[in-house]
Structure formats: C-alpha cells, structure tokens
Amino acid sequence: MSKYEIALIGLSVMGQNLALNIAENHSIAVYNRTEAKTRKFMEEKVEQQQIKASYDLKELVSSLAKPRKIMLMIKAGEPVDLVIESLLPYLETGDIIIDGGNSHFKDTNRRTKQLAKKGIRYLGVGISGGEYGALHGPSIMPGGNKEAYQEVEAIFNNAAAKTEKGACVSYLGPDSAGHYVKMIHNGIEYGIMEIIAEIYDYMRKVMALEPAQMSYIFAEWNLDFQSYLVEITAKILQKDDPESGKKLINLILDKAKHKGTGKWSVQNALDLGVAIPTINAGVNARLLSALKEERVENSKDFPAPDSVNVNNELIIPRLKSALYFASVIAYAEGFKLLQAASKEYNYQLNYQEIARIWEDGCIIRSAFLEPIQKSFAVDNDLSTLIKSDQFKDKLKAAGADLEEIFTTAAVSELALTALHAASDYFNSLKSEKLPANLIQAQRDFFGAHTYQRRDKEGVFHTEWEA
C-alpha cells in the first residue's frame, strides 16, 4: 500500500476510538509503547484495511507520507516530552507533531518553540467528547502552526462532530491557543457539573425525592436546555445496580477525582486577575469531597438538622431557574477568562467560533451556545455575557427565583457553593459600589499602599493615626 496519511501514538480507549474514527476516511498507522495493546487493538477492533500496526517508532515514521503527521494521544506531562524525544531522530524538517492530550498550555508553548528550532511544526489540539465522541465525532480545538493545521484540516474536519453549521473544529490561534481553550472548556465543565450536583443534593435532602423522580425532572428540563451533562444526569439517576437492584447512584462513594484542567483554569485565572468563582467552586467541591473520612467524623459532632418542609411542586421550577442562571454564569466566567488570555498571550480568539465548535461532540454542549454565538456575533469584545441581550432579562428573572432555594438550603445546612458563587458573581458584577474602598483604606493604613478618590484625580496616602 502507498504511504499512510497520519500516525497515532497511544492506544488508550480515547486513542483507539479516535484512530477508528479517522480510519473511516483516511489511512492511519498506529503505535503503542506496549506491543501487546497494539496487537489486541488490531485483533479485536480493526476491520478496516486503512489501519496499519507499527511496533517500533522507526517503522511507524517510515510508513508515513511526507510531511509526516504524527498525533500523540498519551498522558500529559513528561510522557509527551519522552515520546517527542524518541521521535526526533526519525523526523525531517517540515514534519508535524500533534499533541491531542490535555497538556498544560505552558508546556505546549515550550514544545512549540523547541521544535520550531529543529524545523518541526507543532499543534496543540484539545479534544472533547470522551470515548463516545472520539469514535463518533468529538469537538476539536487546534492551535499552533497555522500552515501545519491547514495540512491536517481535512482529517480533522472528517473526524469532528457535525452540525448544520459545519464540522465542530476550527483553527483557534497560534502557540497554545487550542490547549488553552480546551482547558477553559474543562473549567466550565467543572462548574456546571457541580451546579447539577448541588441541585441533585437539594432534591434528595430537602425535597426527599428518589432518584427515579429526579431523573424525570432532569429529563423534562433538558427538553429546553439540550445539555449533554443534564442528559447524562437523567440517565445516571435511572440506572439500577445489576447486583443489588438498587439505584446505582445511591451506592457510589461521594469522592470526586480530578485530572488537573479545572485546577489549571483557576490557577491561571489568578495569574491573569480574573474572577471565576463558580468554576472555582467546582474545583473546591471536589477537593472537599476527597475528605470523606474527615467529613464522616465531623458529622458526628455536627448532626444534620431536621428537614425543612417545602412545596416540591413550587420549588421545581425555581430549581430549573437556578440551573439556567448558574450555567450561564459558568459560561460567562469561562469566556471572560478566554478574553483576558487572548490579550495576554496574543491568541486573537474568535469567541463566536469557539461557541460554535462546542455545539456538538463536547461535554459542555448545550442550547446555551447558540445565544452565546449571537452575543459575540454582535460584539466580539463584549465585556461580559450577562450584559448580552440574549441573557440579560432571563438572568434577572432566574436570579429572583434563587432566594427560596438559598433560604431553605441554609435552614437545612446544605452547601450550595457553586450556586452561591454564581449568584455572588452576578450581584458583584452588576453592583455600582462594592466595599473595596474599605479594603483599599485598610491597605493604605497598614502598608501605605495609597488609594484613589471618587471626587478628584490622583493617588493619595493618609497618615491614619496622625
């Protein structure tokens, strides 16, 4: 057979599924560090003649058409550097390395510069959609060398999820733009997952609903939200444990793990001076969930109060409003951070296009993305989504529905950290006056940090105890 169009290294489930996806339209060679995994993949999964198994890197590279295109689907961090180092002896000027993992954007910047000195073109590509998306069409977020992207564009277009607007892939910008956008996608994901979890917690602890009842409510809401995360929540709540016959959700330990992208979003937001409290709440909630043994011990000293009576029929539409409100705020925080990063790192991001390629294939796909696109179509420099005509009035109405939820949750001593964070973010961002004048006075008092005045121009310092 003639030379293969692209290679893929890393045959985890994501890598396997993406290879099978690509092979529907393009010839591909695959390699995994563990030879047995490659053989098992070829024996159990591969029917197409367009997939070639390689068992060493030299063979893999030599099987490719020039310029070679090699995609890495491996664990982020040092493994990426080790594989790149192992590939370099076999590559030539103009060849392309594509990192499809969740690499930290600063690592992508470093690798881009290092490889450019050797004549190798580099793409940092965010891929969202999980195992199903990898096989049937993910959302693909490429950044890096633009000419290199143009050479793999057809492969990505064919592999990506499709909507009536086109393939859910678009060149996003130079250097680490693709991996940065994927990082913020995951940050928004953390926020929305925690929002849904808190509403579930309210339903079971305050409303005393059973999983099947909650499943029906989430499924009904999703007729409007069209949210993948709400959709799978409804399915999860219906699932029975095959061994016990009980609802599986009631048997799963309440300890949530994380892979780092949410934490990176929060860390970078602090670096750029951007507030993302709802996303931060999603990260913090997972950290608190890890303290299971400590929480169990503490609960003995602080027993839960008696349940409060609420009118479930009246509270359900308010919870739907809360889900709408906080989800929009999570997106607003994410796009605010994207705007700051675009300026700081010169990504020149197109926010309308980012929302478009998130419409299908990715984990945070939802009906919210269409009005987000419309918002940025009017003004790509929109300061915040809460000011958009697409959301402004709806946020006001939804925000008014939060009061009873917060009140009854407080009486029940129920933590709603993401919902509170979203509400506080909204209230702060629309507040003409915040108490920061007192903070600045305190800073000037103990550290002579100076302050500005409302009534005159200039910078001032006061001898507060004179």
Alpha-carbon distances, residue 135 vs 15, 55, 161 (angstroms): 9, 23, 10
Query: Is 286 known to sit in a ligand binding site?
Result: yes
Residue type at 349 in one-letter notation: L
Query: Is 32 known to sit in a ligand binding site?
Result: yes
Concerning whether 182 is annotated as a catalytic residue, the answer is: yes
Query: Is 361 known to sit in a ligand binding site?
Result: no
Query: Is 462 known to sit in a ligand binding site?
Result: no
Asked if residue 345 lies in contact with residue 397, where contact means CB atoms within 8 angstroms, the answer is no
Query: Is 437 known to sit in a ligand binding site?
Result: no
Query: Is 21 known to sit in a ligand binding site?
Result: no
Closest by CA to 73, choosing from 120, 20, 5, 4, is 20
- The single residue of 5, 52, 69, 182 carrying the catalytic annotation is 182
User: CA 48 from chain center: how many Å?
Assistant: 33
Separation between Cα atoms, residue 60 and residue 156, nearest integer Å: 20
Residues 6+ apart with CB under 8 A from 463: none
Closest by CA to 122, choosing from 61, 194, 174, 181, is 174
Query: Is 15 known to sit in a ligand binding site?
Result: yes
Query: Is 104 known to sit in a ligand binding site?
Result: no
Residues 6+ apart with CB under 8 A from 322: 195, 199, 398, 401, 402, 405, 419
Query: Is 185 known to sit in a ligand binding site?
Result: yes
- The single residue of 5, 69, 189, 198 carrying the catalytic annotation is 189
Query: Is 29 known to sit in a ligand binding site?
Result: no
Determine if residue 136 is left, alpha or beta; phi over 0 gives left, psi from -120 to 50 gives alpha, anything else beta. alpha
Query: Is 190 known to sit in a ligand binding site?
Result: yes
Query: Is 453 known to sit in a ligand binding site?
Result: no
Query: Is 10 known to sit in a ligand binding site?
Result: yes
Q: Interior CA angle at 312 toward 246 and 219, to 5°? A: 55
Query: Is 417 known to sit in a ligand binding site?
Result: no
Residue 39's CB: how many other CB atoms inside 10 A?
13
Residue type at 27 in one-letter notation: S
Query: Is 129 known to sit in a ligand binding site?
Result: yes
Separation between Cα atoms, residue 351 and residue 172, nearest integer Å: 9
Query: Is 33 known to sit in a ligand binding site?
Result: yes
Binding-site residue positions for substrate: 102, 128-130, 185-186, 190, 259, 286, 443, 449
Binding-site positions read 10-15, 32-34, 74-76, 102, 128-130, 185-186, 190, 259, 286, 443, 449
The catalytic residue positions are 182, 189
Q: Which residues are annotated as a binding site for NADP(+)?
A: 10-15, 32-34, 74-76, 102
